[in-house]
Structure 1
């Protein structure tokens, strides 16, 4: 007990917490030169769309945590449900027992999924959801007598997780520079990024080229060797890459023709980010074989994720000649009762008006962000719903990224932090995905701060002689 009391005292003060982190806490995505000795910005509390940093400064939570605090901070309804469920049943083993909240949640999630996706497997987050989908593909093809059909098609700019297999799918710059991966299983296609299309090529021709590349890859590798294609409807951490219109539908049809499972990774776009529980059908008009989800399913209040699987795939497994084949996959916290109870209440909040509000605010958010293209440093503002990205370039005409200062996003974030806004810096980009409860006035505040942060960064770059408009 004495040790616990001492620990409690240690974490109460900001300076003590910072020192404890430097001594003991390994942060995610660290650099070797500072690994195990780093302390990051301390966040003390949150309410609505705001968070409070360790210095007592109130900030708009521009990234909504990490694309996840969809219903906003300090929702009493979620805290009360978390407490009540923990007092009723804090945990049960999913290996040979089950709990009621998980069954009810599976039914409600299936009710929102497109097409015949009506079976839900629950995990602990996005990485484990993607890992589960890919392991399911492997199991499915093994049971169907196709052990060679295991290759996975992913894309440049993709982000699908941090486990060994899910991390192997990633196609963002720097993600894999020093990390190993399952390169024998993954084939990367071009990023569907219209802003980076070749000069003189229309968006329509660019989309045709992406589809032709996909078909050529299937022809080169053989459809009998390709098990799945996985893609985010919008590449979130890759810079909010909105694909060309109709591109996803065309890829879906090719996958259906060649019996390649289409996995739609909705870890970010699901649960309201685009105004719907799932965006695959409602926004992009596709019916995948599997949808993965996480983050917004509990608004970040509890670690939870999962996948929704087509009834067709389940029927084929049940009709196979291997009824004793086991899908040997599960997690200690699969179908966690507390997480599922929180997700149910979170879904209540979304259905009771927040989804409607998000659909109403999305166009205004995009309109206001788009005004930042007036700034000389800004090459493109893009997005959909309540997710957006400001990409900075050295030259608007050539669209070259800032080769002389790859941390321009961090510079903007530092200025915005001082002004009252937290953004997500990604090399030469700033990404935003505020809580879905944001208002028009708060959007105005957010964009005004971002404009000033970019303007101050332009002044810094000019003064240092590393950029001239």
Structure 2
């Protein structure tokens, strides 16, 4: 242990470390997120040493296109001096204040700027540390809201297959992706799961309109069966991101939203991924999907990943109803040590400046080309579908196009493609039989061409591997 302290004591000593040093330390001491039991506490992953623009450099000095933009979040690109200076300046002025009985200026200014962009009457912002805590805060607010209004039975939460909403106990209970919950407990008694709005997996020969009708009917029947007096909230990502960039059928979300309004069910839009430029707007709920939620959760792109920050935006109507309740001393007993962190909020303000100063316009202009070029990969036999919206997309691989078998014989197809792409100069995000791309919003058309060229070659090499190993005959 003393040796490790010696290595990491100063930045000067740290600069003398090699990639092998860091990998060895990680193998002995660092627990990675989402580990398997066989490797927990002894696993290493690709070491990233630097980043600039849309590129990162791995521990061996290889330059890679950052296909996932970190984790959907490095929206303005790596190494933006404007954000680094703001972090330093704010930390030198005020590095922290307790949110329990003090406040800071950056959080107040940021709350107003976010409220100005939010749709409808979403005028009030509660800041958290990231997406999971933002969703957790929204769900706990729903519980508090109904308790204060004398409706303690109205607490059930409707989520969907394919969803990802976080890693805290309550937020993780909403998740509907394969393998997320195989070995983990959750608040299952509070959650109702609807079908994923995945058009690629709709029943054979069913039209998109009929598929949308089926999903809406499922929700209507669920409300009727369970009782609107027991359902507190519906939560959904406008685009299911980690579920494989699932873009719902047109007009599906407005119809779900109407059911919520008709039955006094809060509609929570989880915009942790889709906000702050990913779809070309600060928020996508109204601009892209024509809905005005009761609550929006956000994180990731709010600081472009430069500092941990998230939050929820709450409707004015809900707060006014709380103020009119018969329990004026009821307390929303929820908060975090780093709620409204001054450094995070200062970074978010500077990040918004960058988005407003041309990056949002650029994202909207380049997104159609991004989708068009990636769509060309559908001519590869292994590719079942390329789908996406804005600057987020997914390549889903299948064993054959007729059955759309998701390659159950090999659950590492995405990782195989990622390994080949890494060697060729691109980092993608592998998700079982899928590869997800959500590059920094500053990506150019030429860089999109590079990305697609590498991805095509990575998929082609993976097809050769699968054929050679007798796993796939396509």
Q: What's the TM-score once normalised by structure 2's chain length?
A: 0.98
- Asked if the contact 2:267–2:293 (Cα under 8 Å) also holds between the matched residues in 1, the reply is yes
Find 2:181's aligned residue among 166, 170, 176: 176
- Asked if the contact 1:10–1:17 (Cα under 8 Å) also holds between the matched residues in 2, the reply is no
After the TM superposition, list the runs of 4 or more consecutive aligned residues in structure 1 that deviate by more than 3 angstroms. Answer: 1-6, 8-11
Is it true that 1:366 corresponds to 2:371 in the alignment?
yes
How many residue pairs are counted as aligned between the two chains? 469
Partner in structure 2 of residue 225 of structure 1: 230
Partner in structure 2 of residue 464 of structure 1: 469
- Cα distance in structure 1, aligned partners of 2:256 and 2:300: 26
What's the CA shift string for 1:195-244, capped at 9, x where partnerless? 00011111110100000000000011000000000000000000000000
Superposition pairs of residues 7-156 of structure 1, within 5 angstroms: 7-8=8-9, 9=13, 12-156=17-161
Partner in structure 2 of residue 302 of structure 1: 307
Is it true that 1:418 corresponds to 2:423 in the alignment?
yes
- Cα distance in structure 1, aligned partners of 2:412 and 2:3: 45
Unaligned runs of 5+ in 2: none
Find 2:394's aligned residue among 375, 380, 389: 389
Is it true that 1:446 corresponds to 2:447 in the alignment?
no
- Cα distance in structure 2, aligned partners of 1:262 and 1:6: 50
SS in 2 for 1:401: coil
Partner in structure 2 of residue 345 of structure 1: 350
Is it true that 1:213 corresponds to 2:218 in the alignment?
yes
- Cα distance in structure 2, aligned partners of 1:361 and 1:10: 39
- Asked if the contact 1:124–1:306 (Cα under 8 Å) also holds between the matched residues in 2, the reply is yes
- Cα distance in structure 1, aligned partners of 2:114 and 2:182: 37
Partner in structure 2 of residue 405 of structure 1: 410
- Cα distance in structure 1, aligned partners of 2:410 and 2:43: 23
- Cα distance in structure 2, aligned partners of 1:84 and 1:99: 15
SS in 2 for 1:187: strand
- Asked if the contact 2:4–2:25 (Cα under 8 Å) also holds between the matched residues in 1, the reply is no
SS in 2 for 1:292: strand
Going from structure 1 to structure 2, the CA distance change for 1:169 and 1:3 (only over 3 Å counts) comes to closer
What's the CA shift string for 1:316-365, capped at 9, x where partnerless? 01111111000000000000000000000000000110000000011000
What's the CA shift string for 1:375-426, capped at 9, x where partnerless? 0000000000000000000001221110111110000000000000000000
Find 2:240's aligned residue among 235, 254, 257: 235
- Cα distance in structure 2, aligned partners of 1:163 and 1:184: 16
Report the CA distance between 1:4 and its aligned residue. Answer: 4.7
- Cα distance in structure 2, aligned partners of 1:290 and 1:6: 46
- Cα distance in structure 2, aligned partners of 1:404 and 1:92: 53
SS in 2 for 1:228: strand
Report the CA distance between 1:268 and its aligned residue. Answer: 0.1
What's the CA shift string for 1:287-325, capped at 9, x where partnerless? 000000000000000000000000000110111111100
Find 1:274's aligned residue among 248, 272, 279: 279
- Cα distance in structure 2, aligned partners of 1:336 and 1:5: 31
SS in 1 for 2:273: coil
Report the CA distance between 1:127 and its aligned residue. Answer: 0.1
SS in 2 for 1:417: helix
What's the CA shift string for 1:98-123, capped at 9, x where partnerless? 00000000000000000000100000
- Asked if the contact 2:238–2:270 (Cα under 8 Å) also holds between the matched residues in 1, the reply is yes
- Cα distance in structure 2, aligned partners of 1:192 and 1:312: 29
Report the CA distance between 1:443 and its aligned residue. Answer: 0.2
- Cα distance in structure 1, aligned partners of 2:8 and 2:207: 60
Partner in structure 2 of residue 289 of structure 1: 294
Report the CA distance between 1:7 and its aligned residue. Answer: 2.4
- Cα distance in structure 2, aligned partners of 1:6 and 1:74: 25
SS in 1 for 2:86: helix
Going from structure 1 to structure 2, the CA distance change for 1:418 and 1:6 (only over 3 Å counts) comes to closer
What's the CA shift string for 1:8-37, capped at 9, x where partnerless? 447822111111101100000000001000
- Cα distance in structure 2, aligned partners of 1:10 and 1:252: 52
- Cα distance in structure 1, aligned partners of 2:440 and 2:269: 23
Q: What's the TM-score once normalised by structure 1's chain length?
A: 0.99
